[in-house]
Amino acid sequence: MERGEFAIIGTGEVPCGHFPERSEFEIAYTVAREAIRDAGIDVKEIGAVVCAQHIMSNPANDYNTEAVFGRLPEAIGARGCKITCMTSSGGASSFSLRKTAEGILHSGETDTVLVVHAQRFSQFTPNEQAKYFSVAGSDVEWEVPYGMTYNSLAAMVTQAYMTHTGTTIEQIAAVCVANRRWAMLQPNAMFNKKEITVDDVLSSRMVSYPLTSLMCNVLADGGSAFIMTTAEKARKVCSKPVYILGEASDYSHRTITRAKKKDLEKLWEFLAPVAKTAFERAGLGPEDMDIYQIYGSYPCIQLIVMDALGMWEPGSTGALVASGATSPGGKYPVTTNGEALSFGHTGTGVGIALLVESVRQLQGKAGKAQVEGARFLIENTGGGAFMDCHFTVLGNEIPG
pLDDT tens for the chain, 400 residues long, are 789 999 999 999 999 999 999 999 999 999 999 999 999 999 999 999 999 999 987 777 799 999 989 999 999 999 999 999 999 999 999 999 999 999 999 999 999 999 999 999 999 998 898 888 877 777 778 777 877 788 888 999 999 999 999 999 999 999 999 999 999 999 999 999 999 999 999 999 999 999 999 999 999 999 999 999 999 999 999 999 999 999 999 998 887 777 887 777 788 999 999 999 999 999 999 999 999 999 999 999 999 999 999 999 999 999 999 999 999 999 999 999 999 999 999 999 999 999 999 999 999 999 999 999 999 999 999 988 888 999 999 999 999 8
Is 327 among the domain residues?
no
Is residue 79 left, alpha or beta, with left meaning phi > 0 and alpha meaning psi from -120 to 50? alpha
| CATH code assigned at 38 | 3.40.47.10
For the CA atoms of 165, 169, 175, 176, the dihedral, rounded to the nearest 10 degrees, stands at 150
Q: What is the DSSP string of 68-102?
A: HTTHHHHHHT-TT--EEEEE-BTBTHHHHHHHHHH
Please tell me the predicted confidence (pLDDT) of residue 176.
98
Burial of 146 (0-12, 13-18, 19+ CB in 10 A): exposed
CA distance 149 to 129: 12
The Cα diameter of the chain in Å comes to 58
84: which DSSP letter?
A: E
- Given this model, what pLDDT does residue 290 score? 98
In contact, 101 and 115? CB cutoff 8 Å: yes
- Residue 19 domain-assigned? yes
CA distance 53 to 252: 22
33 is a domain residue: yes
In a domain, 56, yes or no: yes
Q: Would you tell me the crossing angle of helices 169-183 and 299-308 to the nearest 10 degrees? A: 90
Give the CA angle between residues 381, 134, 151 to the nearest 5°. Answer: 55
What does DSSP say about strands 242-251 and 376-381: parallel, antiparallel, or unpaired? Answer: unpaired
- pTM of the predicted structure, to 2 decimals: 0.96
Closest CA to 221 of 180, 252, 190: 190
Say if 252 falls within a structural domain: no
What is the count of structural domains for the chain?
Answer: 1
Report if residue 73 sits inside a domain. yes
Question: What are the C-alpha distances in Å from 184 to residues 100, 140, 164, 178, 376?
Answer: 33, 39, 33, 10, 23
pLDDT for 24 equals 94
In a domain, 22, yes or no: yes
Domain of 97 in residue numbering reads as: 6-124+219-237
Distances (CA, A) of 44 to 11, 51, 76, 79: 17, 18, 10, 6
Is residue 211, in this structure, part of any structural domain at all? no
Gap between the terminal Cα atoms of the chain: 17
Rounded-to-integer distance, Cα 227 and Cα 174, Å: 35
* Count of C-beta atoms within a 10 Å radius of residue 260: 11
State the pLDDT at residue 233.
98
